[in-house]
Structure 1
Amino acid sequence: MGKTTGIQWCDSTVNPTMGCDGCELWEEGRRICYAGLDHERKKGRSPGYAPSFDAVTRFPGRMLTAAAWRPLTGLRRLEKPWLDALPRLIFVSDMSDALSQAVSFEYLEDEIINTVESPAGQQHHWLWLTKRSPRMREFSRWLRRPWPANLWVGTSITGQQSLGRIRPLLEVGDERTIRFLSIEPQWEALDLGEWLSRLNWIIQGGQSGKNSPAFDLAWARAMRDACQKVGVRYFLKQLGANVRDGSAVLKLRDRHGGDWNEWPTDLRIRQLPLRLS
């Protein structure tokens, strides 16, 4: 967890659990998840990490610590001006998937929901991202109470094969709930079709690291235009380490492709959901 973070679309991060059951970024033959790689480097040497990435571990009290952080509503963010004046945006589970099977719903209610709804928690907005949207839907039904309006829900998409995560996400919360996709890393051209207009926010980005597949700027332009057409806010996070613009290869100094000063000007777009910005 961190009061500050280099992740462009939030102010802070918090991890009520560490570790994950795995996904297309962390499976046999493919180990590219940054959270998994960080666990492998630090396991056994840091008390703040799970013993191994696949040993999902609870860390109660972290959410309460984050709730006590200074409110940022109305303040400028010199390094992230697109967040100016918004409440502190706290990314829940950047180093984990809190909806991994070993994590009980009772723990999620006590650690996440109760904290988000507390007086301190209400001063911030919390962005809960998962690849397990069916379990998030199951949890929301189990709660039998309204979903907190300041708890955004998101799921991660990498390609056409993961579009099935969207439908369960749309069944979490109510008309107040902000629902978003993190399309990062994007591995192929995507058409969100009818799903797009039912979302509030799209985050998009290419893959960083060695041997990254190419991220084509045509994908970014297509997603930008599709979002604009239906009134969905669009945020281009990074271009990744292997960037193509048609047949041209872009060489960037930033190894993640996250410095938008190196981008074509028409892609320097970092919007937040309309109801807050």
Structure 2
Amino acid sequence: MTGIEWTDRTWNPVTGCTKVSPGCDRCYAENIARRFAGSPAFPNGFDVTLRPERLAQPRGWRKPARVFVNSMSDLFHADVPDAFIARVWAVMAATPRHTYQVLTKRHGRMRALLSSPSFGHLVAEEGRRHVIGCQQDWVAVGAMLAHDVLSLPDGRGRVVPRPLPNVWVGVSAEDQRRAELRIPALLGTPAAVRFVSAEPLLGPIDLSRWLGIERYDSFGWGEEMFAALNGRVGGGLHWLIVGGESGPGARPMRPAWARDLVEQCHAAHVPVFVKQLGSAHGPHKGSDTATWPPELRVREWPTARPEVAS
């Protein structure tokens, strides 16, 4: 269904994007969109375009699937209205058989919107208006996404949103600078599963401080407080994707960078998925695992965490 090895399907209720960091320099989505500009698939080329006619697609997919949301865009782009993002969230809430993977480079907007006290109500309202379901269904969705006041071990209360249990939220981090910029925002975002895509990997990255619950001291919290927040906000990363760049002129990924990330993840008991070594390492994006060093032939997925929405 898709050429992206870590997902089953792609769903693009938005197409088009703009570049924000070096990982965007040779964007595969831009190349495809410009090639087919003016076609029904990309009527506006790579300009940000809302595609409301695609919102119903996941409801027609009967078989449960991992669904990569917006492989051809960024859902949290500034040109995508809050209400449309909420409508996408409503579709995901209405199709719990699927597991959705939302990946962004707009970490600030992601955190602000998904942590907003009003977001759950906006999802319910957009669902009531635009997504099939009775009024009682959307009242229940609004209640499910409502904020709780979580009692922490130090006696303080903290307002914490409830994430959808079937939505994984991730950020791209192509190098150490982008990791340090985006991952703290991800850790402050309510999510059932938090992941990082280190693709294209453009340099070595040290993720150790963010990988496991045993790293709570990195946040200046006590162990009990960290455990209380894990799964809402403040917990560590649950999954890592690693990949080299593909396409003409691809910047090479050193296998040692990928090897180090695999070792970091395994030391913290965090699953890691090595997608490809990149075009600099052979044909077909360097995706033939038979040609890889054995220690890089690792393709693992995180365990779903439905309890966080209870």
Taking structure 1 as the reference length, the TM-score comes to 0.82
Distance in 1 between residues matched to 2:23 and 2:296, nearest whole Å: 30
Alpha-carbon shift at residue 266 of structure 1 (Å): 2.1
Paired residue for 1:225, among 250, 263, 271?
263
Paired residue for 2:113, among 102, 126, 139?
139
Report if the CA contact (8 A) 2:173-2:196 is conserved.
yes
Mapped pair 1:114 → 2:90: yes
Report if the CA contact (8 A) 2:13-2:54 is conserved.
yes
* Alignment partner, residue 220 of structure 2: none
Structure (1 or 2) with the greater helix fraction:
2
Mapped pair 1:266 → 2:259: no
Alpha-carbon shift at residue 94 of structure 1 (Å): 0.4
Mapped pair 1:35 → 2:29: yes
For 2:204, the aligned partner's letter is A
Inter-CA distance 275–56: structure 2 relative to 1 (3 Å threshold): closer
Alpha-carbon shift at residue 26 of structure 1 (Å): 7.7
Mapped pair 1:255 → 2:297: no
Mapped pair 1:194 → 2:209: yes
Distance in 2 between residues matched to 1:61 and 1:150, nearest whole Å: 22
Report if the CA contact (8 A) 2:115-2:190 is conserved.
no
Once the two structures are superposed, residues 243-267 of structure 1 have per-residue CA deviations (whole angstroms, 9 ceiling, x without a partner) of 4xxxxxxxx3x33011212212221
1:1-277 to structure 2, matched below 5 A, reads 4-25=1-22, 30=25, 32-44=26-38, 46-53=39-46, 55-72=47-64, 88-110=65-87, 112-118=88-94, 121-142=95-116, 143-144=119-120, 145=145, 146-163=162-179, 164-174=181-191, 177-197=192-212, 198-243=236-281, 252=282, 254-275=283-304
Distance in 1 between residues matched to 2:29 and 2:178, nearest whole Å: 19
Which secondary structure state, in structure 2, belongs to the residue aligned with residue 122 of structure 1?
A: coil
Report if the CA contact (8 A) 1:20-1:100 is conserved.
yes
Report if the CA contact (8 A) 1:201-1:233 is conserved.
yes
Once the two structures are superposed, residues 196-217 of structure 1 have per-residue CA deviations (whole angstroms, 9 ceiling, x without a partner) of 2210000001111222222111
Stretches of structure 1 that go unaligned for 5 or more consecutive residues are 73-87, 244-251
For 1:131, the aligned partner's letter is K
Inter-CA distance 15–25: structure 2 relative to 1 (3 Å threshold): farther
For 2:263, the aligned partner's letter is D
Inter-CA distance 52–26: structure 2 relative to 1 (3 Å threshold): farther
Report if the CA contact (8 A) 2:240-2:273 is conserved.
yes
Inter-CA distance 206–227: structure 2 relative to 1 (3 Å threshold): same
Report if the CA contact (8 A) 1:179-1:199 is conserved.
yes
Once the two structures are superposed, residues 169-211 of structure 1 have per-residue CA deviations (whole angstroms, 9 ceiling, x without a partner) of 112215xx10001100011111123122210000001111222
Report if the CA contact (8 A) 1:201-1:234 is conserved.
yes
Alpha-carbon shift at residue 70 of structure 1 (Å): 2.2
Alpha-carbon shift at residue 236 of structure 1 (Å): 0.2
Distance in 2 between residues matched to 1:91 and 1:50, nearest whole Å: 22
* Alignment partner, residue 78 of structure 1: none
Taking structure 2 as the reference length, the TM-score comes to 0.73
Inter-CA distance 63–131: structure 2 relative to 1 (3 Å threshold): same
Answer with 1 or 2: which has the greater Rg.
Answer: 2
Q: Percent identity?
A: 35
